[in-house]
Amino acid sequence: PRPILDMSYSRHFLDFQGSSIPSSMKKLVVTKLSQNFREAVTLQQDAPVPLPGDGDLLVRNRFVGINASDINYSAGRYDPSVKPPFDIGFEGVGDVVALGLSASADYTVGQAVAYVKAGSFAEYTVVPAKQAVPLPSVKPEFLTLVVSGATAYISLKELGELSEGKKVLVTAAAGGTGQFAVQLAKKAKCHVIGTCSSDEKGGFLKSIGCDHTINYKTENVESVLRKDYPEGVDVVYESVGGKMFDLALDSLATKGRLIVIGFISGYQNPTGLQPIKAQLLPAKLLKKSASIRGFFLNHYFSEYKMALSELLKMYERGGLVCEVDFGDASPEGKFTGLESVFRAVDYMYMGKNIGKIVVELPHSVNSKL
C-alpha cells in the first residue's frame, strides 16, 4: 500500500486520516463489444487505483448493483462511438477514502456515499463530488434505490399521472425496479397487478401490497387481464418487451399510458430487440386515445437528487421495502467479489432474482478507516 499523504500525487489530493490505499486494484473492463457479458468483459487484476482530482471523491466500493442494461453497455449500444477497452458497472455504494480539496468542502474521509456513474465494477471508483449522494451508512438496501428505485419514482411521477383507484400493471414486478413500482403505485392508492415467474415471487409481491399477481409461467396473462379487467388498465410499467409489450399495449384502458423503462427480453439478442407487432400501433393508440412513453433515467438527472432523498426518507421511516438479492439461492452461493458479477448477470437473465441483485465487495482491512 502507498501512503496517501504523499502530496506529490496531486496538489489537492487529501486523505485526512492517512489510510493506506493500495496502488493497484481489480476491476471489470469491456474488452470486446458483445451482448454476451462473459465474452465482452475481462477481470483486470492489477489496474492502477485512480486518483481523485480537485472536485472528486475516491470511493472504495462496498456494494455494486447489477442492472439488465449492463449487457447493453457491454454491447456498445448506448454510445457507439466508444471503443473498448472501457469500464463498466453503473452504480455503487461505499466509503470515501480520499478526496480533492474542493470536494472536501462537502465530504470527509470515511463518509458513506452512493453514486450513478460508469465504472462501478471496480474496487475503487473516482466520483465527482457533485454526482455523489451522502448516505447515513453503507447498506446494500440503499443501493436498491440508486437506479432501480429512482427509475420507478421519477417515471411514475413524471409520466404515470397516478391517482386513487387507477389500475396499474407492473411487468417483472418482483425484480429490482418492479418492486418499487408496485409499492409507489400502492402509496398513490392505485390497484396494482404484478406479473412474475413463480409462486415464490407472487408471495413476495403480495407481502409488499400487490393486489393481484399473475404467474406467467402457469397462467395466461392475456386471458386473466381480459377476464378480470375488461375495461383495461390505466398505466403499465413495462420492462420486458416482446410479447409482453404487445399484451400490455392491448390491455390499455381508454386514455391509458404505457411507460417503457426497458425490454429485457431482447437484450441478449444480437440486435438488442425482440420483435413486436408495431404495424397496428397508430390504430391501437388512436382507438383508445392511449400513449406510450419511454423513460431513460439519464434524461431525468435534474429530478434525481430529490427522488433519492424522498426514497431514502421513506425507507428510513420504514415505509419502503428494499429487497436485496445477494444470490444466496444461486448454485454457487452468495455474490461476493468482482469475480461473481458474471454469475450475477447470468442469474438475472435466468429470471431467478427477487428484488435487486447486489454484489458485495469485501475489503481486507489495511487502513485506519
E runs forming strands in the chain: 2-3, 20-21, 24-30, 41-48, 56-65, 86-87, 91-99, 112-116, 124-128, 132-134, 167-170, 191-196, 212-215, 233-238, 252-260, 291-294, 324-325, 356-360
Q: Where are the domains of the chain?
A: 24-138+323-360, 146-299
From the list 213, 285, 287, 222, the residue with the least C-alpha distance to 248 is 222
The arrangement of secondary structure in 24-138+323-360, i.e. its CATH architecture, is Alpha-Beta Complex (3.90)
Residue 204 to residue 210: CA distance in whole angstroms: 9
What the block records as the C-alpha cell of 195 is 406479473
DSSP letter (8 states) at residue 224: H
What the block records as the C-alpha cell of 218 is 402457469
Close Cβ partners of 367 (under 8 Å, ≥ 6 residues apart): 1, 17, 19, 20, 21, 97
- Residues linked to residue 126 through DSSP beta bridges, in sequence order: 58
Q: Which CATH number fits domain 146-299: 3.90.550.10, 3.40.50.720, 3.40.50.300, 3.30.1330.30?
A: 3.40.50.720
Q: What is the mean pLDDT of the chain?
A: 92
So what's the pLDDT on residue 195? 98
Neighbours of 266 (CB within 10 A): 20
User: With DSSP H G I counted as helix, E B as strand and the rest as coil, what are the percentages for the chain, rounded to 5?
Assistant: 30, 25, 40
Neighbours of 7 (CB within 10 A): 10
Which residues of the chain register pLDDT less than 50? 1-12, 16-18, 365-369
- Residue 75, classed as helix, strand or coil, is coil
Q: What's the chain's Rg over C-alpha atoms?
A: 21
So what's the pLDDT on residue 6? 39
Residue 110 to residue 113: CA distance in whole angstroms: 9
So what's the pLDDT on residue 14? 55
What the block records as the C-alpha cell of 185 is 403505485
Which tens digits make up the pLDDT trace of 115-173?
A: 999 999 999 999 999 999 999 999 999 999 999 999 999 999 999 999 999 999 999 99
Neighbours of 34 (CB within 10 A): 17
| Domain 146-299 in the same topology as domain 24-138+323-360 | no
Residue 190 to residue 237: CA distance in whole angstroms: 13
So what's the pLDDT on residue 278? 86
Residue 217 to residue 52: CA distance in whole angstroms: 49
Residue 316 to residue 313: CA distance in whole angstroms: 5
So what's the pLDDT on residue 13? 53
So what's the pLDDT on residue 363? 77
DSSP letter (8 states) at residue 238: E
Residue 89 to residue 67: CA distance in whole angstroms: 8
| Percent of all residues in the chain with a pLDDT value above 70, rounded to a whole number | 93
Close Cβ partners of 244 (under 8 Å, ≥ 6 residues apart): 171, 195, 216, 221, 238, 265
Which tens digits make up the pLDDT trace of 160-179?
A: 999 999 999 999 999 999 99
